[in-house]
């Protein structure tokens, strides 16, 4: 029996080309497997093998999506695969978007089954979970072994056109599809059994999972804004010219703290945005459009606010996970509380 032919998509990092500094590389391919492809081949055993690896830099793909997809699809089609695998991308936002976009395009335009893997907070999940099987992974490459194992099993089922079980059984992120099936026990008994387990503190699996929305209670209004110390925080990526902390244009892993002492206006000679995913022209021409320093300086001079905190905090919201964003805020908010800052103006793009 002939082995299932697989084409694997990876980014510049897993292709061992380089990190963020090489995220601009254009589509290319290598025959055979590279990087995580070795683990996939081992998981496939004699059933399948990676015959070609297609590669693209994360920045290039997201900034030239249609051109990148067209070039990569031609490379995939030329290899005549039976199956397409992308990633896994874990919690890397741009990589996740690329994996989801390529898996969807291969399925829709080439008619080849495709699968990818991501962490649940990856922006690629919400964008492509309804059209692509996305195996749920951990948030970093530490979970590579488990991700590959689950992806390989489901991938072979797809290639063989075998029935796909529920998301709980197969390990993929729910697609919002409900299928009728017969259970051994009637619904009323199953419901009572779950209730009893819940009352006893035992583990159980719900048959109707509900979305878990994070809610933040609003703080009381300031009693007197004219005496309040106010800080500026932005997810719009405003940074001193040159981006000294090298904050990523997408899926940021860090934030920056920058001094506003003696500065009344943000100009294109001193500040710019590190944010990707939108036209930065207006923000670069006048960063006050994203971080309104000029207006707050006026308010400060007119006594409309007590004072403006000396430093502002900035990161990029494009593809940055909720988990990372919370960690950033928990970190710099300690300083704001210590410095008796009463309010924060949070701006985005």
CATH at residue 33:
3.40.50.2300
In a domain, 22, yes or no: yes
Q: What are the tokens at 132?
A: 């692509």
Contact 49, 31 (CB under 8 A): no
In a domain, 213, yes or no: no
Both 150 and 57 in one domain: the answer is yes
In a domain, 15, yes or no: yes
Of residues 120 and 181, more confidence is placed in 120
> For residue 175, what pLDDT is reported?
83
Residue 207 has pLDDT above 80, yes or no: no
Mark which of 136, 170, 204 sits at the end of a domain: 170
Both 136 and 42 in one domain: the answer is yes
Q: Indicate yes or no: pTM above 0.75.
A: no
* Total domains present in the chain: 2
Both 263 and 137 in one domain: the answer is no
**Left if phi > 0, otherwise alpha if psi is -120 to 50, otherwise beta: which for 232?**
beta
Round to whole Å and give the CA distance between 345 and 171.
Answer: 41
* Tens-place pLDDT, residues 73-98: 999 999 999 999 999 999 888 899 99
Averaged pLDDT for residues 184-191: 90
Averaged pLDDT for residues 217-232: 92
Round to whole Å and give the CA distance between 280 and 111.
Answer: 37
> Which range (127-131, 229-233, 276-280, 328-332) has the least confidence?
276-280
Both 231 and 147 in one domain: the answer is no
Mark which of 170, 187, 209 sits at the end of a domain: 170
Round to whole Å and give the CA distance between 115 and 123.
Answer: 16
Q: What are the tokens at 185?
A: 């026990």
1 pLDDT band (50/70/90 cuts)? low
Q: Give the closest residue to 150 by CA, choosing from 116, 185, 104.
A: 116
Which burial class, exposed, middle or buried, applies to 266 when counting CB atoms under 10 A from its CB (0-12, 13-18, 19+)? buried
> For residue 126, what pLDDT is reported?
87
In a domain, 211, yes or no: no
> For residue 335, what pLDDT is reported?
96
Both 26 and 160 in one domain: the answer is yes
211 pLDDT band (50/70/90 cuts)? low
Q: What is the DSSP string of 287-316?
A: GGGTS-HHHHHHHHHHTSSSEEEEEEEE-B
Both 160 and 291 in one domain: the answer is no
Round to whole Å and give the CA distance between 106 and 132.
Answer: 10
List Cβ neighbours of 224 (8 Å cut-off, separation of 6 or more). none
Both 12 and 156 in one domain: the answer is yes
Contact 238, 290 (CB under 8 A): yes
List Cβ neighbours of 39 (8 Å cut-off, separation of 6 or more). 144, 145, 148
Both 62 and 135 in one domain: the answer is yes
Length of the chain: 349
Contact 156, 48 (CB under 8 A): yes
Both 30 and 144 in one domain: the answer is yes
Q: What is the domain extent for residue 36?
A: 4-170
Both 154 and 46 in one domain: the answer is yes
* Range list of H helices, the chain: 37-44, 58-63, 65-78, 93-105, 123-128, 144-159, 167-170, 187-200, 281-285, 293-302, 322-338
In a domain, 176, yes or no: no
In a domain, 25, yes or no: yes
């Amino acid at each position: 029996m002939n082995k299932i032919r697989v084409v694997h998509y990876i980014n510049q990092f897993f292709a061992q080309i380089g990190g963020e500094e090489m995220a601009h590389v254009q589509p290319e391919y290598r025959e055979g497997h590279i990087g995580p492809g070795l683990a996939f081949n081992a998981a496939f055993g004699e059933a399948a093998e990676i015959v070609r690896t297609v590669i693209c830099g994360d920045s290039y793909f997201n900034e030239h999506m249609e051109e990148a997809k067209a070039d990569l699809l031609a490379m995939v089609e030329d290899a005549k695969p039976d199956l397409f695998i992308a990633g896994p991308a874990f919690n890397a936002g741009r990589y996740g978007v690329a994996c989801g976009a390529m898996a969807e395009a291969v399925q829709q335009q080439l008619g080849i089954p495709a699968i990818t893997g991501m962490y649940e907070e990856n922006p690629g999940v919400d964008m492509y979970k309804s059209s692509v099987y996305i195996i749920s992974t951990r948030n970093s490459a530490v979970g590579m072994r488990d991700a590959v194992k689950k992806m390989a099993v489901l991938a072979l089922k797809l290639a063989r056109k075998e029935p796909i079980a529920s998301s709980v059984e197969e390990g993929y992120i729910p697609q919002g599809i409900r299928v009728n099936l017969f259970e051994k026990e009637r619904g009323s008994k199953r419901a009572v059994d779950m209730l009893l387990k819940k009352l006893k503190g035992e583990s159980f699996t719900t048959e109707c999972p509900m979305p878990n929305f994070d809610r933040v209670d609003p703080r009381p209004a300031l009693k007197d804004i004219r005496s309040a110390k106010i800080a500026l925080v932005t997810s719009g990526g405003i940074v001193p010219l040159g981006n000294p902390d090298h904050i990523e244009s997408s899926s940021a892993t860090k934030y920056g703290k920058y001094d506003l002492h003696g500065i009344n206006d943000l100009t294109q000679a001193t500040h710019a945005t590190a944010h990707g995913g939108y036209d930065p022209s207006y923000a670069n021409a006048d960063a006050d459009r994203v971080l309104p320093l000029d207006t707050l300086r006026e308010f400060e001079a007119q006594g409309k606010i007590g004072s403006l905190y000396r430093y502002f905090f900035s990161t990029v919201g494009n593809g940055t996970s909720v988990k990372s964003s919370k960690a950033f805020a928990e970190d710099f908010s300690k300083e704001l509380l210590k410095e008796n800052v009463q309010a924060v103006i949070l701006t985005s793009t």
